[in-house]
């Protein structure tokens, strides 16, 4: 690399969720589909599943952008996609009275742990954290996505690919139903 060439920004797209709880597997399935797409240089796609603490430690490798893919219940119609620009580092708090369990950490607990780890070693957290969520129909025990969530997957893949190519499509504090 030439000294005048800035390093390529790094982004991590992380699919989270439990495939044994119906639509909670949305993030994992979306990550699987995205991994097969041609994405900009510097983008990594990971199936994190329920291993939240692994995500926090992977982020210590230094990423400019984190895109979390997850089932996100916000009261919309099942299959509705949301883009949420997560709060600033330091403002995230893990749920009260819930021990940090490396196999059962919600995204907000992962981000709070990341803030703590980054502060401890002097590594900055990602400058931008986006959540691309899908309204679930069910998170009951069972393997497989509901028809509405499965139908939302192609649009979710297009949405994430677009966000990675042009991060300005979502501005600080934006939240949109797609």
HSE-CB for 158 with a 13 A CA cutoff: 7
- What pTM, to 2 d.p., does this model score? 0.77
Question: Is 4 a domain residue?
Answer: no
Question: What residues contact residue 78 under an 8 Å CB cut-off, 6+ apart?
Answer: 23, 135, 136, 137, 146, 148, 149
Question: Is 173 a domain residue?
Answer: no
**Res 167: pLDDT:** 62
pLDDT band of 34, cuts 50, 70, 90: very high
What order do you get walking across the sheet with 175-177 strand by strand? 43-49, 11-16, 65-71, 128-134, 81-85, 175-177
The DSSP code for 21 is B
80 C-beta neighbours (distance < 10 Å), count: 18
Residues 97-106: pLDDT tens digits? 434 333 344 5
**Mean pLDDT in residue range 28-43:** 93
Residues 74-123: pLDDT tens digits? 889 999 999 988 754 443 444 444 343 333 445 555 566 666 666 665 66
Question: Is 171 a domain residue?
Answer: no
pLDDT surpassing 90 at residue 65: no
Tell me how far apart the alpha carbons of residues 90 and 26 are, in angstroms, rounded to a whole number. Answer: 27
pLDDT band of 50, cuts 50, 70, 90: confident
Question: Is 178 a domain residue?
Answer: no
Question: Is 6 a domain residue?
Answer: no
The 10 Å CB-count burial string (b at 16+, else e) for 136-165 is bbbbeeeeebbebbbebbeebbebbbebbe
Sequence-ordered strand ranges (E) for the chain: 11-16, 43-49, 65-71, 81-85, 128-134, 175-177
Instruction: Give the position of tokens 């600033």.
Output: 88
SS3 65: strand
- Between 88 and 8, name the one with better pLDDT: 8
Range of the domain at 77: 11-166
In this predicted structure, which of 28-32, 89-93, 113-117, 157-161 has the lowest mean pLDDT? 89-93
- Which CATH number is 141's domain given? 3.40.50.1450
The number of folded domains in the chain is 1
**Mean pLDDT in residue range 18-45:** 93
Question: Is 174 a domain residue?
Answer: no
């Amino acid at each position: 690399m030439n000294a005048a060439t800035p390093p390529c920004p790094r982004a991590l797209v992380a699919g989270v969720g439990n495939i044994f709880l119906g639509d909670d597997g949305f993030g994992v399935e979306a990550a699987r589909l995205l991994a097969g797409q041609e994405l900009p240089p510097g983008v990594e796609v990971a199936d994190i599943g329920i291993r939240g603490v692994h995500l926090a430690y992977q982020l210590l490798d230094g990423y400019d952008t984190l895109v979390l893919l997850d089932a996100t219940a916000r009261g919309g119609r099942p299959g509705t996609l949301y883009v949420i620009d997560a709060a600033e580092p330091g403002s995230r708090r893990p749920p009260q009275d819930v021990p940090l369990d490396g196999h059962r950490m919600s995204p907000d607990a992962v981000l709070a742990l990341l803030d703590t780890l980054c502060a401890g070693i002097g590594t900055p957290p990602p400058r931008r954290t986006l959540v691309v969520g899908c309204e679930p129909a069910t998170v009951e025990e069972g393997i497989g996505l509901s028809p509405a969530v499965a139908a939302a997957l192609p649009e979710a893949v297009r949405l994430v690919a677009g966000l990675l190519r042009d991060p300005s499509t979502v501005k600080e504090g934006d939240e949109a139903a797609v």
